[in-house]
Structure 1
Amino acid sequence: MDIALMSMALSQGKVQQEASMSVMKMAMGNVEQQGEALQRLMTTTDTSAIQRAAQPHLGGNIDLKL
């Protein structure tokens, strides 16, 4: 076996593993933030805030005819 080729393959594998771990850490950070936001939303007693979060498109416009 060629030692240089083997070294390159191991190096590429290490870089791929580090990149994968970095992406996983970013995803875990996003999930933690979403979980905290959901927890804050569930502990709030403001029902209108909960309704706006569930259906943000409702109540934004009013149609008037004179």
Structure 2
Amino acid sequence: MDIAEISMSLSQNQLMSAVGTAMLGKTLDLVEGQGQALAQSMSMNTPSLESLVYPTSGTMIDVRV
């Protein structure tokens, strides 16, 4: 192997490493966004399973003085 071939091989390896790191960063940003969207959708006011089965349960309060 001559010096030029080694230099070109090292340069290609460095470029591939930089591209892989950039792609990993983009993927991490995407996954973080999906996680935030999932957490937000879980915290929305969604009806509970019990309220779907018994829709009138807990909708009225009887107060006697």
Residue in structure 1 matched with residue 5 of structure 2 by the alignment: 5
- Select the structure of larger CA radius of gyration: 2
Runs of 4+ in structure 1 off by over 6 angstroms are none
RMSD, matched Cα: 1.2
Kindly indicate whether residue 59 of structure 2 is the aligned counterpart of residue 31 of structure 1: no
Q: C-alpha separation between the residues in 2 aligned to 1:6 and 1:12?
A: 10
* Count of residues in Structure 1 that have an aligned counterpart in Structure 2: 47
* Higher relative contact order (Cα pairs below 8 Å, separated by 6+ residues): 1
Unaligned runs of 5+ in 1: 49-66
Unaligned runs of 5+ in 2: 48-65
Give CA-to-partner distance per residue, 1:18-59, whole Å, 9 cap, x none: 0011111101000000000000111111x27xxxxxxxxxxx
| TM-score, L = length of structure 1 | 0.66
